[in-house]
């Protein structure tokens, strides 16, 4: 997957909100790519709304991962501003895309509620700054994706998400974090 690898105006100081916006765009694309990978592997999605449910799970998971990486790299105040801006941008993307699929409604609010629920789920899971999410976090993510997918091959979705989609999503996320945030120490 191609990701934003550099800024057009090099050397320009970027605000935390600008960084969060650029990273959120790339993260949204990672979630969209995850849905396509699942469908290309033959896993069932029946509606656009269901696809958005899967993207929402990817977005919530990756938002939590970004927050975990930010924890050791930013002050508490910087991290709060950054993650808030990041989550709000993700909610904006969800609002726009859900509105196209489902019509008017508070889709951003529903996403923020999902994000808060998933943050609670993932908060208890292990995470290592070098290794990334532990087994329990990857399993939880896989289970959440499975819950919103179709019935076909349901018993294999969690394992596939854990073993294939999570590493791919994290590889792309780390590339974006290195290029946009300058967090070079994040290895693939």
Residue 7 covered by a domain: no
- Residue 159, CA distances (Å) to 8, 26, 82, 115, 141 in order: 39, 25, 32, 22, 10
Residue 9 covered by a domain: no
d(CA 167, CA 42): 19
The rounded average pLDDT for each run of 10 residues, N- to C-terminus, in the chain (188 residues) is: 57 85 95 95 90 96 97 95 97 95 93 96 93 95 92 85 96 92 82
How many domains would you assign to the chain?
A: 1
Give the CA angle between residues 72, 78, 80 to the nearest 5°. 90
Residue 93 covered by a domain: yes
Residue 8 covered by a domain: no
d(CA 7, CA 179): 9
Query: What confidence score (pLDDT) does residue 114 get?
Result: 97
Residue 186 covered by a domain: no
Q: Any idea of the CA torsion for 162, 164, 168, 171, to the nearest 10 degrees?
A: 60
Q: Which residues contact 87 (CB under 8 A, 6 or more apart)?
A: 63, 112, 115
Query: What confidence score (pLDDT) does residue 7 get?
Result: 56
Residue 117 covered by a domain: yes
Residue 1 covered by a domain: no
C-alpha gyration radius of the chain: 16
Residue 188 covered by a domain: no
Query: What confidence score (pLDDT) does residue 151 get?
Result: 77
Q: Which domain holds residue 104?
A: 16-181
Query: What confidence score (pLDDT) does residue 150 get?
Result: 74
Q: Which residues contact 76 (CB under 8 A, 6 or more apart)?
A: none
Q: How many residues does the chain have?
A: 188
d(CA 29, CA 136): 25
DSSP character at residue 54: H
Quote the pTM value: 0.92
């Amino acid at each position: 997957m191609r990701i934003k690898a550099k800024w057009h105006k090099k050397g320009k100081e970027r605000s935390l909100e600008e960084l969060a916006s650029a990273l959120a765009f790339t993260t949204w694309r990672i979630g969209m790519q995850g849905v396509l990978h699942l469908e290309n592997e033959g896993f069932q999605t029946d509606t656009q709304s269901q696809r958005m449910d899967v993207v929402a799970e990817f977005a919530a998971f990756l938002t939590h991962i970004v927050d975990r990486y930010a924890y050791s790299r930013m002050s508490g105040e910087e991290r709060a501003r950054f993650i808030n801006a990041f989550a709000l941008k993700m909610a904006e993307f969800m609002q726009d895309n859900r509105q196209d699929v489902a019509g008017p409604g508070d889709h951003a609010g529903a996403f923020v509620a999902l994000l808060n629920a998933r943050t609670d789920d993932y908060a208890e899971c292990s995470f290592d700054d070098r290794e990334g999410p532990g087994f329990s976090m990857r399993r939880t993510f896989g289970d959440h994706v499975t819950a919103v997918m179709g019935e076909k091959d349901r018993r294999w979705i969690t394992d596939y998400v854990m073993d294939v989609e999570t590493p791919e999503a994290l590889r792309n996320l780390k590339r974006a974090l290195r290029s946009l945030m300058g967090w070079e120490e994040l290895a693939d």
